[in-house]
Amino acid sequence: MTIPTLTLSNDLTMPALGFGVFQTPPAETVAAVRCALQVGYRHIDTAAAYGNEREVGQAIRESGLGRDEIFVETKVWISDYGYESTLHAFDTSAAKLRVDTIDLLILHQALPSRFDLTIEAYRALETLLADGKVRAIGVSNFMPDHLADLLAATTVVPAVNQVEVHPYFRQPGVLAADAEHGIVSQAWSPIGGITFYRDSGHTSTLQDPTITAIAAAHGKTPAQVMLGWHLQQGRSAIPKSVTPARIAENFDVADVQLTADELAAIDALDTGHRGGPEPEAMTLEAFGRPIPEA
Ligand SMILES: NC(=O)c1ccc[n+]([C@@H]2O[C@H](COP(=O)([O-])OP(=O)(O)OC[C@H]3O[C@@H](n4cnc5c(N)ncnc54)[C@H](OP(=O)(O)O)[C@@H]3O)[C@@H](O)[C@H]2O)c1
């Protein structure tokens, strides 16, 4: 298997394996993204809320690669939801990244208590798509009900839904809803990062006996096995690291070919326990904070 590409609903091609920069401090972001581009990643996932779009853009410019060789994905934070505010959020992200076009712009969260604002924000994404300022639009952390409500009120089906998916939290209902609508599921915390960096008492996916046994059988690492699991099941995955050896390790997964039994054994590790915030409880009051101007 080579690193696959995924064809989005509007026929745009996206490298399935991207590079995440959540919690990558701005001072470390240029080096991390430079390293990722050097080892072969061609898809970077950032967000207005991560505070490092400027540094992602700098690394892209300094890479020597053409702008059209790198798929740039970023997210609109909830504080910028609303039609005009979201159009402005695009301008802000594009200015920080110093790009004319964003390949994939997604809403970072649904706002269930202000779904009217969520819809207005998505309508702004539709306008940006029609105007050619973004090449695809999508959502993140949308549960099946949120997707259904969005689809009922808008025109363009999201190309991508970026959600927490790793062996300990698989969200099969969300994956099924995405598939039903032709939406690519994109796994955040794909190697279970949130199970070890947020909850130190939790058993790490990296030490899981099922995953380590499969890794040993294939001569690969646990992280590589988890990334292969995503790619083989048709998902996009966006592992994060600031460590050069891990950045390279996570990209060296083209030869991971798991058996159906191995895929099923990893599926069976699902605990049903979410690591990230509960999407239904996302509110402006609890999570809103201003995104600095460019
Ligand atoms: N939409 C959302 O709400 C949302 C939420 C969370 C994340 N995301 C996106 O998803 C990306 C990835 O998620 P994540 O950062 O939460 O988790 P992750 O990629 O599953 O795990 C990252 C953690 O694993 C470590 N790591 C990376 N590769 C490793 C390896 N080969 N062996 C051992 N440890 C390794 C990293 O440490 P070092 O960096 O120290 O090497 C970091 O602590 C984010 O960067 C972001 O782009 C989106």
User: CATH number, domain at 105?
Assistant: 3.20.20.100
Convert the pLDDT of each residue in 75-104 to its tens digit. 999 999 999 999 999 999 999 999 999 999
Q: Evaluate whether residue 186 is within a structural domain.
A: yes
Does the annotation mark 50 as catalytic? yes
Under the banding of pLDDT at 50, 70 and 90, the label for residue 161 is very high
Q: Evaluate whether residue 1 is within a structural domain.
A: no
Which among 50, 81, 122, 168 is annotated as catalytic? 50
Under the banding of pLDDT at 50, 70 and 90, the label for residue 115 is very high
Q: Evaluate whether residue 50 is within a structural domain.
A: yes
Closest residue by Cα to atom 21, ligand 1, is 193
Under the banding of pLDDT at 50, 70 and 90, the label for residue 236 is very high
What is the pTM assigned to this prediction? Answer: 0.98
For the residues 158-185, what does the mean pLDDT come to? 98
Looking from the CA of residue 224, the nearest atom of ligand 1 is 31
Q: What's the gap in Å between 71 CA and the centre of ligand 1?
A: 19
Q: Evaluate whether residue 59 is within a structural domain.
A: yes
Q: What's the gap in Å between 197 CA and the centre of ligand 1?
A: 9
Query: Is the Cβ atom of 45 under 6 angstroms away from ligand 1?
Result: yes
- State how far the Cα of 162 lies from the Cα of 141, in Å rounded to an integer: 6
Task: Say if CB 168 and CB 193 are below 8 A apart.
Answer: no
Paired tokens of 117: 């604002």
Q: Evaluate whether residue 182 is within a structural domain.
A: yes
Q: Evaluate whether residue 9 is within a structural domain.
A: no
Paired tokens of 266: 């990893």
Phi, psi of 112 (to 5 degrees): -55, -35
Phi, psi of 145 (to 5 degrees): -65, -40
pLDDT at 132: 98
pLDDT of residue 201 exceeding 60: no
pLDDT at 198: 63
In the chain, how many domains are there?
1
pLDDT of residue 234 exceeding 70: yes
Convert the pLDDT of each residue in 245-290 to its tens digit. 999 999 999 999 999 999 999 999 999 999 999 999 999 999 999 9
Q: Evaluate whether residue 109 is within a structural domain.
A: yes
Write out the DSSP string of 185-234.
Answer: EEEESTT-HHHHHT-TTSPPGGG-HHHHHHHHHHT--HHHHHHHHHHHTT
List of residues 6+ apart from 27 with CB closer than 8 A: none
Q: Evaluate whether residue 294 is within a structural domain.
A: no
Query: Is the Cβ atom of 20 under 6 angstroms away from ligand 1?
Result: yes
Convert the pLDDT of each residue in 22-58 to its tens digit. 999 999 999 999 999 999 999 999 999 999 999 999 9
Task: Say if CB 48 and CB 89 are below 8 A apart.
Answer: yes
Length of the chain, in residues: 294
Q: What's the gap in Å between 272 CA and the centre of ligand 1?
A: 19
Residue 143 lies in domain: 14-287
